[in-house]
Structure 1
Amino acid sequence: MLDGRPLVDVHQHAARLPTLKPAWRQWASDFGDASVLDRVYDAGGTVDPARFDAYLAEEGVDVALVLAEYSPKATGIQPIEDLLPLAEHNPARVKVIANINPHLHYPIEEELQRQLELGAVACKLHPVHAGVAANDRALYPAYELCQSAGVPLVVHCGTSTFPGSSNRLADPVLLDDVLRDFRRLNVALAHGGRGWWYDAAAFMALSNERVWIELSGLPPSRLREYYSRHNWNRLTRRMIFGTDWPGVPGIARNARAVAALCPDEETACLVLAGNATRVYNLKPVS
């Protein structure tokens, strides 16, 4: 709980440092708090489960979703197996999100099924780092599995400065085909259209009850500017809190700033936990 409200952070990267490229470490240093990394990482560059759990508790995080990523051209490999000890230490607080890359995984639905069986609560697609358009038909078997299993699809929807990124693939309009063809699939737009697509992301979230704006990587102080062309009171109810940790000054700090932007207490509770609980099929925080 944070200030009496449940808090779910749906976007964290608790990766092992030896698996990542130098650009990832520089990103974490530039946008995050280096002292936090010293607190939760051990000498070998692995997140210590007990220390990570304690840090989340101090920040008021009831549930944290940590992401695997298979993007060797951009950030490196964050295999799901490296995240399992974090979830096993406190399965009520830490859960994992699968990641698929059609350039690495075939058959893609079998790899996704494997990761779901390891406990993943969602599937992440990273078009910008993986070099694949969200409407590529090679991904459709994975989308069908997500839909049939009732798990949401998280899609990176925003620019990336990592070497090897293909930013043109972050356009949320590419998901129009997917939403048409998979009519029961919930889609979270990670980074909310960061860069060139705020309006497109907002329009999609306001016009489709299965599309959500996921706030990771967006400074709260600029959210109203980013979405100034849209009805703020309506749009906030379509938002899901996430930080992009460790590339964030502080989880609690961001959560409080986001809550302060909400038009009322009901909306603040939806953004900080309620929407995530519904979309990611989480147990409600009591």
Structure 2
Amino acid sequence: MIVDAHVHPARLATLKLPWDTWLGTAADRDVVAGLYGPDGVVVPERFDALFQAEGVDRALLFCEYSPRVTGIQAIEDMLPIVAANPERFRIVANVNPHLHYPVDAEVRRQLDLGAVALKVHPVHGNFAPNDRELYPAYAECQARGIPVITHTGPSSFPGASGRRGDPVLMDDVLRDFPELTVVLAHGGRGWSYETAGFMALARPNLWLDIAGLPPKRLPRYFERFDLERIASKWIFGTDWPGVPGVAANIKAVGDLGLPPAVLDAVLGGNAARVYRLS
């Protein structure tokens, strides 16, 4: 089973970023543009057909409440895509302590809509992931067995606060919520690969999402580690649409020379375990 565990199907009317900034330099603009209707909303059937063609069995769709940087991508915008193919697609919830109060009530609301995980985006939301205001949300997730994803590393988008993406900030959360499963999105991208890697190897309930990282560069990014050992903690994701193609990234991960069992875990098995995907 192939799982793309990091996908952003944004609604254009509520996207703060300009089109070119959001897509970056890697995306196939014509392919992405063809997924949208005249109202600037993803057409679910087209979206489903794309991920089927790219060889993806499951995909996690991210909403985001970051008016400072990306705008509001409400969880309700994801529901029609899931309804078109509930086998392929799942939703990831999102809360921002500057917008949501109480945060645990909002987490419950989004989980009840079918979300399989919670993401916090401290870099775009300008808050620390160990802010005590988020603790009720983490408590709710720990009680339900729901994993928490947090953005690590900087973001190139205007208005982002890179210092909030230091993965070591999650050490407080892991201490205070020892049964909580945590995923470090982007694996510590930028200046924190080593920190994120050591944290992941030290804790059985901590994982590294490699979304947005060119697969061929992963051995260099994690050069301080045995590649097979650190790869056993990776979860494949693309950060779509900012990639040249999902299938191309799947092939590139396959070209790293990982043992078959590790490769299977990276491309789907780890995500299936962490996010409880059938």
- Structure 2 CA distance, aligned partners of 1:199 and 1:42? 42
1:71–1:130 contact (8 Å) kept in structure 2: yes
Whether 2:233 is the aligned partner of 1:233: answer no
Deviation at residue 233 of structure 1 after TM alignment = 1.1
Whether 2:116 is the aligned partner of 1:128: answer no
Whether 2:223 is the aligned partner of 1:217: answer no
Whether 2:3 is the aligned partner of 1:8: answer yes
Change (3 A) 1:97 1:14: same
After the TM superposition, list the runs of 4 or more consecutive aligned residues in structure 1 that deviate by more than 3 angstroms: none
Change (3 A) 1:81 1:115: same
Q: Which residue of 1 aligns with 2:189?
A: 194
**One-letter amino acid of the structure 2 residue matched with residue 191 of structure 1:** H
User: Is the partner of 1:96 in helix, strand or coil?
Assistant: strand
Which of residues 81, 87, 90 is equivalent to 1:92?
A: 87
**TM-score scaled to structure 2, two decimals?**
0.98
Percent of aligned positions with the same letter in both sequences? Answer: 54
Whether 2:149 is the aligned partner of 1:154: answer yes
1:99–1:123 contact (8 Å) kept in structure 2: yes
State the Cα RMSD in Å: 1.0
1:151–1:281 contact (8 Å) kept in structure 2: no
Alignment of 1:170-185 (within 5 A): 170-185=165-180
Which of residues 113, 118, 143 is equivalent to 2:138?
A: 143
Deviation at residue 158 of structure 1 after TM alignment = 1.5
Which of residues 55, 62, 77 is equivalent to 2:57?
A: 62
1:156–1:170 contact (8 Å) kept in structure 2: yes
- Structure 2 CA distance, aligned partners of 1:181 and 1:221? 36
Alignment of 1:103-118 (within 5 A): 103-118=98-113
Deviation at residue 153 of structure 1 after TM alignment = 0.3
Change (3 A) 1:81 1:66: same
- Structure 2 CA distance, aligned partners of 1:14 and 1:119? 17
Q: Which residue of 2 aligns with 1:257?
A: 252
Q: Which residue of 1 aligns with 2:268?
A: 273
1:65–1:96 contact (8 Å) kept in structure 2: yes
1:53–1:90 contact (8 Å) kept in structure 2: yes
Q: Which residue of 1 aligns with 2:239?
A: 244
User: Is the partner of 1:121 in helix, strand or coil?
Assistant: strand
Q: Which residue of 2 aligns with 1:39?
A: 34
**One-letter amino acid of the structure 2 residue matched with residue 84 of structure 1:** L
**TM-score scaled to structure 1, two decimals?**
0.95
Alignment of 1:71-86 (within 5 A): 71-86=66-81
User: Is the partner of 2:188 in helix, strand or coil?
Assistant: strand
**One-letter amino acid of the structure 1 residue matched with residue 155 of structure 2:** S
User: Is the partner of 1:271 in helix, strand or coil?
Assistant: helix
User: Is the partner of 1:40 in helix, strand or coil?
Assistant: coil
State the Cα deviation string for residues 73-126 of structure 1 (Å, max 9, x = none).
Answer: 011110000110000110000111000000000000000100000110000000
1:157–1:191 contact (8 Å) kept in structure 2: yes
Unmatched segments (≥5 aa) in structure 1: 1-5
User: Is the partner of 1:142 in helix, strand or coil?
Assistant: helix
**One-letter amino acid of the structure 2 residue matched with residue 277 of structure 1:** A
1:158–1:196 contact (8 Å) kept in structure 2: yes
- Structure 2 CA distance, aligned partners of 1:188 and 1:16? 25
Whether 2:9 is the aligned partner of 1:18: answer no
Change (3 A) 1:223 1:276: same
Q: What is the number of residues matched between the two proteins?
A: 278
